[in-house]
Each structure stands twice: as structure tokens, then as C-alpha cells.
Structure 1
Amino acid sequence: MAVALLLMCYLATASSEGAPSPPERIAVVGAGIGGSAVAHFLQQQFGPQVQIDVYEADSIGGRLATITVNNQQYEFGSATIHSLNLHMQDFVKLLGLKQRREVAGKAAIFNGEQLVLEETDWYLLNLFRLWWHYGISFLRLQMWLEEMMEKFMRIYKYQAHGYAFSSVDELLHSLGGERFINLTRRSVAESLLEVGVTQRFIDEVIAAVVRASYAQPLTIPAFAGAMSLAGAQGNMWAVEGGNKLVCTELLKLTKANVIRARVTGIALLSTEGKMLYQLRHESDGGHGLDTYDMVIVATPQYQGGSNISFENFEPSVVELPGTYHRIVASVVHGYLNSSYFGFPEPKLFPFSSVLAADNPDLFFNSLDNICPVNVSASFRRKQPQEAAVWRVLSQRPLEKPQLKTLFRSYYSVQTRDWAAYPHYASALKELPPIVLHDNLFYLSGIEWAASSVEMSAVAAKNVALLAFNRWFQHHEKIDQKDLMHKLKTEL
């Protein structure tokens, strides 16, 4: 018995000596939803003993941001989350947050002269109007989206079993094969025409939804277009108190060390046979240098917007291609000019959201009557004739004549110019890499497939699993083929 115990101890010791120890320090660059989520997932994988430093020069939450109007907070950035976004749902439960009560409202599409499509309170009447105007195009669109979303949902099962992918192409291929890859290389208009959606429906409805989502024309990739169209079908929710709470609370839960500084450079170091990454950063307090075993870049890098230099890498890490599309969000507290939309009497205007058709003469992309991030049980939307808070998305800052076109009068206007989404017209020959070096990863490249809160969360989970599997050489968990069949066999 004693000999057996000694042998077991020896084998356990030998096994632990052969296995690499976990990383001691990990840096995450960016504290948006991608950076906050990856910090959380990294701690899940490597354990609480790992020190995680998160660098953020701006506000935590990134494009999840709020703004104050009359002492109340409103969403300024990404406002809603789809009901199929399982990571975001898990975060809300884990953090003890709540989903905000939905306040019903109707939408319409405006072509610059008249409303071409108006939503009503009756579901069957809405279906009849769609059929009357566009035939069965909306059914073909629905079938196309449902098939895509069903395949996309496979990622949650893969990630639950610890599987990761070393490139965005590998991830997409595992979900939908070559078809998903092709959907990142051809336009949403082409793909919808192929499944029998009419040109009229595409021009009048799809173009307005895509313009409101990405502020770009129908030449955007079909995969990105599908994500925006799925979000337009309803079943949306938001976080009580503001969506950015997910980011701040995840970082608190992770006990990440948030460093208020901008990372300007990442250099590869070799010290005593150990490979490290040195981060150069600057803040109001001056410049600094810190070294890490692993680095995750969770902020978009692109031509004209990348401020991080990569040094001493062989082969070199080049500037990532492509540019980002800018969009201006204006939050206006005022009285809507309903006569511009064909309603001379303000109290008869029934819509809380107006999408602009793809008309070069229209100076805005969408107009939404937004609710505070804290909605009480007694809350009601303002009546059309009352002063309300509206969010206007446009390509450029609204000029005074344009504001006067949309509003009879207003109390305040607050704007923010976002580098919001990849500029999909600057088409890339291939999607950006995830692995920049052995333990240096790029999270935000997934936005070139589609940009959304949940895509960033999916990318965060993938990077955390990939980093873990590469560190401990679990190669059987990376880029596995035919995973659906494999998982069915295992189960």
C-alpha cells in the first residue's frame, strides 16, 4: 500500500512538472463589451490567481454608452440586444442585473416624400400589409434568416464544450460551411435576390433597415446584413440601468485591474528563455512600461485609426487593413415636426421610430423616440405633441436647418461622432487574423463578418478558449472539423 501511494505521488508530481504553469499576467487592451467579456472568460479559464490588467483611455463600455438629459440617462450607443444573444443573457443573470421593461412603439419607413410602410398595433394587419405590398418576400426573408440563425446558434454548444477557432474563417466555416464564408464576400442584396426576395422589397424595406443599423448601403456583406435584419424583427431587450453596466460589473466581478491609459505600443521581449510582451502606454500621469505573458487587443485596429505599434516581431505584425465607418448620434430633447412626415396635426403621429429609405436627399438614417435606461412600472411614452427625447443617426452632424426640419423646437442637442462599424465597402480580401503572435490575440476582427454586441461576446469567449487551449497545448480543441457530428457522437 505504501509503495502504491508513493508511486501515485511520484506520477502526480511528474505530471505537474511536465505541464506548463498558467500565465501570471494578462493584459487586455480596451474595456468595451469585447474587452470586459474576454477578461471575465480568461479568468474562468485560467483561474482567479491570474492578474488581468485592462487598459482603457476612454470610458468603460466603449460603444455601450449613456447620456444624461433632464437628469435621466438614455442609451447613446448600442441600444438593444437580441433575445437569442445567450452570452449577454448569461451576463445579466450572473451579475444580478435585470432586463429593462419593453415600452411598445410602432415604426415606419420614410422615403423623403411619404411613409412607404407603416406598422400598426395589430400583428395580422401588419402581415397583410407586407403581403399586399411585397407578396411573399417577407416570408422568404424570414426563412433565410431563421436558417442562418439556427446555424449561428451552434457556436454556443461548441464553446460550452471548450472548442475554439484560430481564425474568423474557421469559426464561420464550423457554423455554416463555405456558405457562411461566402456570405462575408457577397452583398446582402445579391443573397436576398437569390432566395427570391423582390427588388422592390429590398429597395424599400431592407435598405432602410441596413441603413439604420450600419449607416451603409446594400453592398454590405450578407452575413452582416443578416445580423442587422434579425435585430429588426423584434424580440429585443436592454439592461435596466444601461447596457454599459454589463461591462463595468463584469470587470468588478473579475477583479480586473483597470488602468486608465492608452496603449501605444506592444514589443516582443525574450528574457531568460521566456517570451514576454511589453506594453508601452501613456496617460495624464505620464508614460509607462509593463510586461505580460499574454495580451488581448480588444479595440478595433484599422488604417487611420490604429495607434498601437508592434515592435520586434518576426514576421512583423503589420497594420491591419480596412477603415471604420463614422456615424453621428444626436440626442435631441424637443418637439417633433410631424408635418415633415405628412401629419400636420402632431397628436395624430403614431410612430416612435422612423427609418429613412436609401435616398441621397435624406440627411438622417433613423429617428427614435428613446426611453430612459430606468423604466418604472408607471412609465409611458410622451405623446406626439409633447417634448420627448429623440435619437437621430446621421452620416454628418445635423445643421440647424436640418434640426428645424425634424423638430418644431428643441431644448437641447447632444452629439457624438462614432467610429461605429467597419466600412464594409473597403472590402478585405480576407478577414483579419485572431492570432497575431503566439500569445498575442486580436479580438475585434470578427466585426468584419458582422458588428454587434453579441458578436463581440462570442469573439471574447473564442479568444479566451483559444488562448487557454494554445497555452496548455490542447490542440484537439482547436479548429476541429465537423463539430456537430463530433458532439452528437460524444453525447
Structure 2
Amino acid sequence: MDGRFLSKLVLVLFLHTVVRGTAVDPPSQIAIIGGGIGGSSASHFVREKFGKNVQIDLFEKDSRICGRLDTVTIDGREYESGGSIIHSKNLYMKKFVKDSPNLQEASSFSSTLGIFDGKDYVLQTSTWSIVSLLKMFWTFGLDLFRLQWLEKRFINKFVGIYDLQKQGHSYDTVQGFLHAIGGNDFVHATQITGVAEFSSDGIGEFMIDNLVSPGLRTNYGQNASVNGFVTAVSMAGIQPGLWSVKGGNKLVCGELVKNSSANIINEQVSKVVYNAASKTEKFSVFTKQSPSQAKTYDIVIIAAPIQSDMYHIDLSSACSNEENCPSSKVNGKRYRKTTANFVKGKLNSSLFKCNSWKVCPGSILVSNQDTFYRSIGLHIPVDYDPTSDEVDPVYKVFTTDPMTDEQRDYLFESYTTKATVVWKAYPVYEPPEELTSFVLNSAGLYYTSPMEWVASAMEMSVISAKNAALLAYNNWFGKGSDNTTAMKGEL
């Protein structure tokens, strides 16, 4: 090898190492705000990228972590009350469970599906898969295969994000992220309704009204007027092969935080300030409990939605661009309230045309938008053991407001126990969606929640957390993001 070439190569490598001076050293303090699945997985990915010496503080205002993943107790047994299903292609959630000796997949429980219009069934599937397929084909015709093809294309493109993130790619904006995995098609899907997206693939009105919209009402409390991307995610959420974590999906958060050795601070963050003059620990984090005593950090990742109806954090002195700064005071976006009504009892046999949980559909999706209930699902305890447990039917009924006794009596012939969980479950989707930035300040302030306005799901939050960790790592060490490369010549 030519000696001059080798000398130049060594010089280039040396300059690359020192180009940022002391900043090439790893950060010493990183804050994560929000202890839901996004924040807890961010702690995992930050530890994975930055190593064992960085201190990670996880701020969570509640006494428990995992946010919208939770359980409710019915007669001494726990049932999923928040995010309850995981798709077989959710590779991060699968890996979290596989890598932890304290986590395992819950035992499956097979049940049938019914599409109910408030008076009769549009469709009832069978415990025999071939019979179910024939029934669905009889009901929906070739649209059934059009839907399957659309979902297959969507998922095959979407899973490309895992290889991209494994290679270290990160994205400043939601638009750049979507374009990297699905090109203009994925970006466009967020700008039009689910009706428009699915109609463009030849799917007819009958299937949209009687399968797509009922699925959306169950998963997102809305109909096919939501954006096309979240519509596709919703359809993946009613496919076979869904699973959950034994003991409750919330256990994943605890394992991630524990294994990351993050320090949990049970205080409510009220304000973040950027200290431009400081060479290190450029961000000050104030809490409601300690308003005058800030903690300082090199990097801050916000994994909680800053909306008027969710979290209030003053970032006006932290963002580098006022137009790009989330504010609970001016942000008109909102989250949809949903109510999970749990009832231990027997369904109304004359209404639902079945006299036992064994013959009633385990999942009843409602196609009539005028009913007060959106879906009814038979649930089993999170620690269900098929070898020893008898099914003691507990149903989860999704409504907007808590059911009245009169409404409960309408749906159930009899019941012994009831419980209600009201929560802000997911965004109100109103396309065209505004695709904002994950980077609030390139000096080290990142935000995961913009991903939710594409589609809200456990895996989407985890992927966004991974992107935030990669952004933090790449920007800290001068590697930059991939937005320009990913979108060049395409938009």
C-alpha cells in the first residue's frame, strides 16, 4: 500500500475522531420523560447504544410505569385493560419477551368472530378455519383477497424498519421515517382517509362498512374516516396469530427499565430549558415537585404526548424552532376517551342469539355506528393456564362513556361483577395528518409522540423510541440522520 495514502487515511480517521472535540466522549446524563412503553423501551435502547457508564433518569409522574398498558382486577384475577394485543410481526416486543427469563408469551385462547349490526350477524366465523374462510368469502367475495393482499404488502414494507434500525439509520421527521420504509405510498396514506385508501385498492363499500370500520371502532374508537395508515394497522389487529404477555403486557416495561438500570424519578416534569452557553449538560429539567431545583442533562428524550388533554410540559425555552415546538396550550390535537367496561356474566341470549359463552362469538365487532357499544370481547385472565383454569366468562365492552345499569342490563342477562376503566387511549385521527419532527433541538432534545399521529400501537411506540435513541447517538457522535438520503429525488 502506498505510504502517502496510508498517512492520509490515518489523518482522516484522526480528524473524524476529534472533529467534535470533547463531545466524542459519551454523554454522562440522559433524561427520559414518560414511563410508558415508549419511555421504558427508550431506556433500553439508550443503554444499548451508549453503554453502561451513562446515567439514565426516567421521569414518571405516576407511581407505576407502563402508562396505557395496565390491568384491572376482577374477583382476584387480572385482565388486560389497556393495550392488549401484539402482532406476530412486532419483532421488538417479541425480542423483549424472548430475551427476558421473567417474561413469556401468554397461553392462547381460540374463539370465533362475529360481525353484528345491532340486531343480527352479518358474519359468524367457525372454530374450523376452512369453514371460516368459506363464510368470509361468501360474505365479502373477492374483497376478502384484496384485503389480504393489501395487508400483506403493507406488512412486508413495514417490517423493513427493523433492518434499517439494525444498521443504525435514524430519521428526523415522521415523513422521512415513512418514506424510508414505504416511499410515497406510506406518506400518502396518512393524508387520506381509510375509505379512500382501501377503495383505491378495489375494496368495496360493503367490506369497509362491515369489517374495516367495525375493526377500527374496536381498536381506535373511530370509523374509516381516519387516515389510511392507521386503517391498515387496525386491520392487522384483527388477524389471527395475535398474542400477549403472560401476567400482563405491562410487565415488559418493568423488565426494560430494570435491565437498563434506569433511575426512576416519580415526579411530574413541568419544564425543560436549553442552556446554550453550557458546554455539557445543556438541558435543565424542572419538576412540579421541585420547581426551583433543576436536574441537568446532555440529552433529553420526551416519550409522553404533550397535548392539551394529556401532558403539560413547557418546552418554550428548550426547542430550537418555535414552529416545531409542541405546546399543550396551542396544540389543537386531542386524544379520544374510551371506556373499557368489564362485566363478569352471561350475554343476553335473545339479543346475541346464543345461550352460552361456548357458542357465542368470542369477539363481537359492531358495524352499526348508532349503537352505544362498539365491541364486546370475551377475555381470560393474564395468568390463564389452560391445563388448570376453567373459563369464567368476563367480557370487555368498549364504549365512549361508562355504561349505565340500563345499558348493562340490555347486553347481559345476568352478571356478578363489573368494573370500569376510562382512559385516553389513542389520538383522534383527522387526515390529512400533520407529519412533524422527532427533533426538537439538535443539541439533544427528542420527541417520540409524533409517531402516534401515524398510528398508535405498542410496537409503533417502541420503534419511535428506538429512532430517538439512534438520533441521540448519531447526532452526539456526528453521524447525522438519514432524512436527506432517504427522501432524495422522491418528494
The TM-score with structure 2 as length reference comes to 0.90
User: Residue in 1 aligned with 2:333?
Assistant: 322
Return the match for 1:26 from 1, 8, 30: 30
Return the match for 2:362 from 334, 349, 352: 352
Q: Counterpart of 1:480 in 2: which secondary structure? A: helix
User: Residue in 2 aligned with 1:363?
Assistant: 372
User: Residue in 1 aligned with 2:439?
Assistant: 435
Tell me if the contact between 2:357 and 2:393 (Cα under 8 Å) persists in the aligned partners.
Answer: no
Tell me if the contact between 2:227 and 2:433 (Cα under 8 Å) persists in the aligned partners.
Answer: no
Give me the whole-angstrom Cα distance separating, in 2, the residues matched to 1:400 and 1:280: 45
Sequence identity of aligned pairs in percent?
A: 33
Tell me if the contact between 2:433 and 2:453 (Cα under 8 Å) persists in the aligned partners.
Answer: no
User: Residue in 1 aligned with 2:469?
Assistant: 464
Residue 20 (structure 1) shift: 2.0
User: Residue in 2 aligned with 1:69?
Assistant: 74
User: Residue in 2 aligned with 1:260?
Assistant: 266
Distance change in 2, residues 1:173/1:395 (3 Å): same
Instruction: Tell me whether 1:242 sits opposite 2:251 in the alignment.
Output: no
Give me the whole-angstrom Cα distance separating, in 2, the residues matched to 1:327 and 1:212: 10
Give me the whole-angstrom Cα distance separating, in 2, the residues matched to 1:84 and 1:208: 22
Distance change in 2, residues 1:444/1:194 (3 Å): same
Tell me if the contact between 2:471 and 2:480 (Cα under 8 Å) persists in the aligned partners.
Answer: no
Residue 338 (structure 1) shift: 2.5
Instruction: Tell me whether 1:99 sits opposite 2:102 in the alignment.
Output: no
User: Residue in 2 aligned with 1:49?
Assistant: 53
Q: Counterpart of 2:83 in 1: which secondary structure? A: coil
Distance change in 2, residues 1:470/1:321 (3 Å): farther
Q: Counterpart of 1:196 in 2: which secondary structure? A: coil
1:435-483 per-residue CA deviation (whole Å, 9 max, x = no partner) reads: 1112111101101111111111111111111110011111375653389
Residue 84 (structure 1) shift: 0.3
Return the match for 1:87 from 78, 86, 92: 92
349-358 or 58-67, which deviates more: 349-358
Give me the whole-angstrom Cα distance separating, in 2, the residues matched to 1:287 and 1:333: 49
Distance change in 2, residues 1:348/1:279 (3 Å): closer
129-138 or 140-149, which deviates more: 129-138
In structure 2, the gaps of 5 or more residues are 1-9
* Residue pairs, 1:84-483, within 5 angstroms: 84-96=89-101, 97-274=103-280, 276-283=282-289, 288-313=293-318, 314-316=320-322, 317-319=325-327, 320-343=331-354, 345-346=355-356, 349-360=359-370, 362-379=371-388, 382=391, 388-425=393-430, 427=431, 430-438=434-442, 439-475=444-480, 479-481=484-486
Aligned AA for 1:325? R
Residue 334 (structure 1) shift: 2.2
Distance change in 2, residues 1:165/1:374 (3 Å): same
Tell me if the contact between 1:339 and 1:346 (Cα under 8 Å) persists in the aligned partners.
Answer: no
Give me the whole-angstrom Cα distance separating, in 2, the residues matched to 1:166 and 1:476: 6
Tell me if the contact between 2:65 and 2:253 (Cα under 8 Å) persists in the aligned partners.
Answer: yes
Q: Hey, which bits of structure 1, 4+ residues long, moved more than 4 A?
A: 11-19, 271-275, 285-288, 476-479
User: Residue in 2 aligned with 1:486?
Assistant: none
Q: Counterpart of 1:266 in 2: which secondary structure? A: strand
Tell me if the contact between 2:352 and 2:360 (Cα under 8 Å) persists in the aligned partners.
Answer: no
Tell me if the contact between 1:268 and 1:275 (Cα under 8 Å) persists in the aligned partners.
Answer: no
Aligned AA for 2:173? S
Distance change in 2, residues 1:379/1:407 (3 Å): farther
1:27-54 per-residue CA deviation (whole Å, 9 max, x = no partner) reads: 1111111000011101111111111111
Give me the whole-angstrom Cα distance separating, in 2, the residues matched to 1:142 and 1:128: 15
Give me the whole-angstrom Cα distance separating, in 1, the residues matched to 2:55 and 2:22: 23
Aligned AA for 2:270? T
1:379-412 per-residue CA deviation (whole Å, 9 max, x = no partner) reads: 4563xxxx52111111111011001111222222
Residue 342 (structure 1) shift: 2.5
Tell me if the contact between 1:338 and 1:349 (Cα under 8 Å) persists in the aligned partners.
Answer: no
Tell me if the contact between 2:172 and 2:481 (Cα under 8 Å) persists in the aligned partners.
Answer: no
CA RMSD in angstroms comes to 2.4
Tell me if the contact between 2:104 and 2:245 (Cα under 8 Å) persists in the aligned partners.
Answer: yes
Give me the whole-angstrom Cα distance separating, in 2, the residues matched to 1:376 and 1:173: 43
Aligned pairs, how many? 468
Residue 19 (structure 1) shift: 5.5
In structure 1, the gaps of 5 or more residues are 1-7, 484-491
The TM-score with structure 1 as length reference comes to 0.90
Distance change in 2, residues 1:240/1:348 (3 Å): closer
1:35-94 per-residue CA deviation (whole Å, 9 max, x = no partner) reads: 000111011111111111111112211111011112211111111100000000111112
Aligned AA for 1:404? D
